[in-house]
Amino acid sequence: MAVFLTDEWFSEVDRLTAEAGDLNLPPALANTKINLKITNTANGDVNAALENGVLKKGETDATTTINIDQETLKAIALKGDMNEAMNAFMSGKIRIDGDMGQVMALQTAKPSVEQKDLFKKIYAMTEQA
């Protein structure tokens, strides 16, 4: 088990992603690059990026940045709760800088079976404290 958004967690996500191979992503996910600035983590603020359908540590050359706190990201990313995403956005817990179209594309994109399997493995190895 690894604590969400720690270096150990990102390393394990990278390993699981490599093991998963081709995620058979729909174009809306395969072509999306979004940076995330995550606040309120045990290690301070964390920069990450959603690229090629997976969350990676660090930033990418994205034109969009989502500012979000750790608990909100955990509810959305690990539990797949899109209602939580909309509620968080409407209440100001999520702020988007840049190309809003990148984020809107995520709302309609359906994850592949392979991506869902990867997310299940990531969720299972994430400490739920």
The per-residue pLDDT for range 32-90, each reduced to its tens digit, is 899 999 998 888 899 999 988 888 999 999 999 999 999 888 888 766 666 777 888 88
Residue 55 has a pLDDT of 85
Q: Is 55 helix (H, G, I), strand (E, B) or coil?
A: strand
Q: 44-51 and 33-41: which strand pairing?
A: antiparallel
Average pLDDT over residues 91-110: 85
Residue 81 has a pLDDT of 64
* Residue 121 clears pLDDT 80, i.e. is over it: yes
**pTM (2 decimals)?**
0.86
